Amino acid sequence: MAIKIRMRGKSQNGVAEVKALIKHPMESGVRMNKKTGKPYPAKYIDMVEVLVNGTKAVDAQWSGAVSANPYMAVMVKANAGDEVTVKLSDNTGETGSDSIKLK
């Protein structure tokens, strides 16, 4: 199952604010299941890339310390009509991506 991303973005004076809401459990592997006494397996986003017209603008590494269903906002150099893509992958190999055209 792919990681789901909802995105919005708007450019003003050559700078765009891109907002993304990511649906992901972000389980650190430390929290215990009360019924079994065993930890939930780790499952967290570990790589985030933001591309503007195919060129990497942001490269981030996350860990299990990020909350479930994270919200991300970044500022990038981009103009109206440019395509912005967010690509993600987690520690289990699951991936997700979404693209928008800036207004």
CB atoms within 10 A of CB 14: 9
Stated as kind and residue range, the H or E segment containing 73 is strand 71-77
pLDDT of 1? 67
Global confidence as pTM: 0.91
Closest to 62 measured CA to CA, from 96, 28, 101: 28
Give the CA count within 13 Å in the CB-facing half-sphere of 34: 0
Tokens 């981009």 correspond to: 78
pLDDT of 74? 98
What domains are defined for the chain? Answer: 4-31+38-101 (2.60.40.10)
Write the single-letter amino acid at 61: Q
DSSP for residue 32? B
> How does pLDDT run across 18-77, given as a tens digit for each residue?
999 999 999 999 999 999 999 999 999 999 999 999 999 999 999 999 999 999 999 999
